[in-house]
Amino acid sequence: MLDCTTLREAAGTLAGRYRSLPQSRLRGEPAAAGLALARELAARAQRIEFPGREPLPLPDDGIFAVGDQIAVAAHELAAALEPHPELAGVRDEAVSRIRDTASRWGL
């Protein structure tokens, strides 16, 4: 069993920071970067859960949903990864990507 605590915690922290941002700060690039991250995490989860099927795109539900989309996508990825200890690298890449997004936008 793969421990995905770090993935869940990093995503939870970033999601909380997105949720607390004012609308003026969310507009444009920060929200777009968060949505891109959520889409990437969701696609990775789907590739593990449904190999051979093209991942379904995560919809753009607006700037105020980005934090929730990050949290949900990361939890889905963690759940998909846990039975696969050989995929620790995927977990580590996801954590790095989450931290990079937080750093890039000062979150």
Q: Does 106 have pLDDT greater than 90?
A: no
Q: Round the average pLDDT of the chain to a whole number and report it.
A: 96
Q: How far is CA 91 from the centre of its chain?
A: 11
Q: Where are the beta strands (DSSP E) in the chain?
A: none
Task: Output the furthest CA–CA distance in the chain (Å, rounded).
Answer: 42
pLDDT at 26: 86
Q: Which pTM value belongs to this model?
A: 0.94
| Number of domains composing the chain | 1
Instruction: Give kind and range of the element (H or E) at residue 53.
Output: none
3-state secondary structure of 106: coil
Query: What are 53-88's pLDDT values in tens digits?
Result: 999 999 999 999 999 999 999 999 999 999 999 999
Q: Which domain holds residue 55?
A: 5-104
Query: What are 19-65's pLDDT values in tens digits?
Result: 999 999 888 799 999 999 999 999 999 999 999 999 999 999 999 99
Q: Using an 8 Å Cβ cutoff, are 73 and 38 in contact?
A: yes
